[in-house]
């Protein structure tokens, strides 16, 4: 039949999101229908067994899902795998997962595995480092020290100075046994207990790594950030993490620079703009400062350690926003280019100022503003004067 080969999930009629128990139930349901003793197709039954064996083994299923390969695949059973035995019995010369079929009746343990195809590289190791606003402004360099494990070259990561092939399993790491169950004979494959599934026995441990196959190693990573670098920038160091037996290459290290949550300056001076090239802060003025103007010192600006002095114009009121061009963050990659510095005004009126304004202040301002005051027309006796300040 032409067309794409059905996946193992298709063979069992399950989906990738189904649990191991769901897959087992689907297998047992189909096995009752397709078992040769029930008149089923032997090849179909063989496919069901193979699919169930892989999809109910966590490591095999993960490798099948991620890489499209089958861990420990021993090849297809030869043609004519089912033969009459007299009394209606059948021999099954292909691997059967005894735990899946009969629970704990025959004991636990993982099925033996053959050679495993290595992945190319594990997922990167990610570490975030907090940077102050001043360090983002001026540029900064810091070191990250890592401890890694590297393959021991003296023993080729085997941990053995001398070794030999395991005789009971012939160096395969797995042993095959025939099990008679009434009229049925089943062939099972399991890990070799003599070599723990490795196929080799260590005669003498490696002196360099004390038999572990790995050596401890320290590595220093230097991160240099340019002035104006934005938070969230990722610095990548290829293949500096520990060697891993399951992968061809070691993983990468990703260092992410973020805003330091403990930076006191960053609490009242913030970065803004589509490229975070601007700086902004809020200044609190008294009523007097708001009305007649004043000179204020802004502390914490990363470019001015002695403070940035600003002339606030007279008549600066609540919500006003001023801009000082070119006093923001350096723009990364553009030498001499800076964003802007924005100041938002808040006005807080002190009780003494309120009292002064209600007496002398009103008389002083009346000649200037009474022409702009438009009183509502009403009888004098209708005006309510019992207002009080509610806090």
How far is residue 30's CA from residue 24's CA, in Å, rounded to a whole number?
10
Q: Which range (14-28, 121-135, 268-282) has the least confidence? A: 14-28
Helix intervals (H) in 318-374: 351-356, 362-369
pLDDT at residue number 287: 94
Distance set, CA 375 to CA 80, 147, 262, 371, 372 (Å): 108, 79, 53, 11, 10
pLDDT at residue number 169: 85
At residue 137 the predicted structure's pLDDT band, cuts being 50, 70 and 90, is very high
The residue with tokens 């196929």 is 199
At residue 390 the predicted structure's pLDDT band, cuts being 50, 70 and 90, is confident
CATH assignment, 265-367: 2.60.260.20
pLDDT at residue number 100: 42
At residue 69 the predicted structure's pLDDT band, cuts being 50, 70 and 90, is low
Computed over every residue of the chain, the mean pLDDT equals 82
> Can you read off the two tokens belonging to residue 177?
């046994």
How far is residue 53's CA from residue 110's CA, in Å, rounded to a whole number?
11
The phi and psi torsions of 267 (rounded to 5 degrees) equal -80, -25
Q: With respect to CATH, is domain 8-109 assigned 3.40.50.300?
A: no
How far is residue 390's CA from residue 215's CA, in Å, rounded to a whole number?
74
218 pLDDT higher than 50 = yes
- From-to residues of CATH 1.10.287.110 in the chain: 8-109
- Name the β-bridge partners of 237: 253
Work out the average pLDDT over 283-298.
94
> Can you read off the two tokens belonging to residue 333?
């990659």
Kindly report the number of other CB atoms within 10 A of residue 229's CB atom: 22
Work out the average pLDDT over 361-390.
85
Distance set, CA 169 to CA 190, 192, 194, 233 (Å): 10, 6, 8, 53
Distance set, CA 369 to CA 288, 329, 363 (Å): 17, 42, 10
Q: Kindly calculate the radius of gyration of the chain based on its CA atoms and give it in whole angstroms.
A: 39
pLDDT digits 0-9 by tens, 233-284: 999 999 999 999 889 999 999 999 999 999 999 889 999 999 999 999 999 9
* Exposure string over 158-178, b if 16+ CB within 10 A, otherwise e: bbbbebeebeebeebbbbeee
How far is residue 252's CA from residue 236's CA, in Å, rounded to a whole number?
7
DSSP SS3 for 281: strand
Most confident stretch, 21-35, 193-207, 261-275: 261-275
pLDDT at residue number 4: 64
pLDDT digits 0-9 by tens, 71-90: 445 433 333 333 333 333 43
How far is residue 195's CA from residue 168's CA, in Å, rounded to a whole number?
9
356 contacts 384 by C-beta, under 8 angstroms: no
DSSP 121: -
- From-to residues of CATH 2.60.260.20 in the chain: 125-157+209-259, 265-367
CATH homologous superfamily, domain 125-157+209-259 = Urease metallochaperone UreE, N-terminal domain (2.60.260.20)
């Amino acid at each position: 039949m032409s067309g794409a080969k059905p996946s193992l999930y298709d063979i069992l009629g399950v989906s990738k999101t189904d649990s191991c128990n769901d897959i087992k139930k689907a297998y047992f349901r189909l096995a009752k229908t397709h078992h040769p003793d029930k008149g089923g197709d032997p090849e179909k039954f063989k496919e069901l067994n193979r699919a169930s064996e892989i999809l109910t083994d966590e490591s095999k299923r993960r490798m099948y899902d991620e890489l499209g390969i089958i861990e420990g695949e021993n090849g297809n059973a030869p043609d004519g795998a089912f033969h009459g035995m007299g009394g209606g019995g059948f021999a099954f010369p292909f691997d059967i997962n005894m735990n899946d079929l009969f629970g704990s009746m025959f004991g636990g343990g993982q099925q033996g595995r053959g050679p495993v195809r290595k992945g190319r590289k594990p997922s990167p190791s990610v570490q975030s480092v907090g940077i102050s606003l001043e360090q983002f402004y001026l540029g900064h360099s810091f070191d990250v020290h890592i401890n890694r494990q590297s393959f021991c070259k003296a023993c080729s990561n085997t941990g053995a100075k001398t070794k030999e092939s395991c005789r009971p399993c012939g160096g395969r790491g797995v042993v095959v046994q025939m099990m008679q169950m009434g009229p049925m004979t089943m062939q099972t494959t399991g890990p070799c207990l003599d070599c723990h599934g490795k196929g080799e026995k260590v005669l003498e441990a490696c002196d360099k790594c004390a038999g572990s196959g790995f050596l401890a190693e320290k590595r220093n990573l230097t991160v240099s950030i340019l002035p104006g670098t934005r938070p969230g920038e990722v610095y990548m160091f290829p293949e500096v993490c520990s060697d891993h037996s399951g992968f061809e290459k070691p993983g990468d290290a990703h260092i992410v620079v973020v805003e330091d949550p403990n930076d006191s300056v960053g609490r009242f001076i913030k970065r803004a703009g589509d490229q975070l090239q601007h700086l902004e802060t809020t200044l609190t003025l008294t009523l007097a400062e708001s009305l007649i103007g004043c000179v204020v010192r802004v502390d914490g600006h990363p470019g001015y350690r002695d403070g940035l002095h600003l002339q606030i114009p007279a008549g600066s009121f609540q919500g006003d926003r001023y801009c000082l061009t070119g006093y923001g963050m350096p723009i990364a990659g553009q030498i001499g280019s800076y964003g802007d510095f924005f100041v938002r005004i808040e006005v807080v009126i002190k009780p003494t100022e309120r009292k002064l304004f209600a007496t002398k202040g009103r008389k002083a301002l009346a000649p200037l503003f009474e022409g702009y005051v438009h009183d509502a027309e009403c009888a004098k006796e209708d005006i309510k004067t019992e207002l009080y300040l509610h806090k």
